[in-house]
Amino acid sequence: MPEISRFYGIIIAIFYNEHNPPHFHARYGGEKVAVDIRTLQVLEGRIAPRALGLVIEWASQHQDELMEDWELARNEQPPKAIAPLK
């Protein structure tokens, strides 16, 4: 699972050769969530509401980069790092 960003204790990653819809994974503490890149809706899992808010804010700022990383990972190429939330 390639890590593409990290901020405020949240780790963002995209798996290689993953299933549709395009999504990324976020971990915070012992909790995990998968988020649809296009709609920014939670597909599965749960994390603390404050952490989820930060994840969604970050993702909304980087949707194009997330889609590029999704395509790279789907083709088993390493995704690029994305700037953390500031």
User: Is the residue at 85 inside a domain?
Assistant: no
User: Is the residue at 23 inside a domain?
Assistant: yes
Asked whether the bond before 21 is cis by omega within 30 degrees of 0, the reply is: yes
For residue 25, pLDDT over 80 is answered with yes
Range of the domain at 33: 3-74
User: Is the residue at 60 inside a domain?
Assistant: yes
User: Is the residue at 81 inside a domain?
Assistant: no
User: pLDDT tens-digit profile of 46-84?
Assistant: 999 999 999 999 999 999 999 999 999 999 999 999 999
Confidence of residue 40 (pLDDT cuts 50, 70, 90): very high
For the whole model, what pTM was predicted? Answer: 0.94
DSSP state of 69: H
User: Is the residue at 79 inside a domain?
Assistant: no
User: Is the residue at 30 inside a domain?
Assistant: yes
User: Is the residue at 83 inside a domain?
Assistant: no
* Total of domains in the chain: 1
User: Is the residue at 84 inside a domain?
Assistant: no
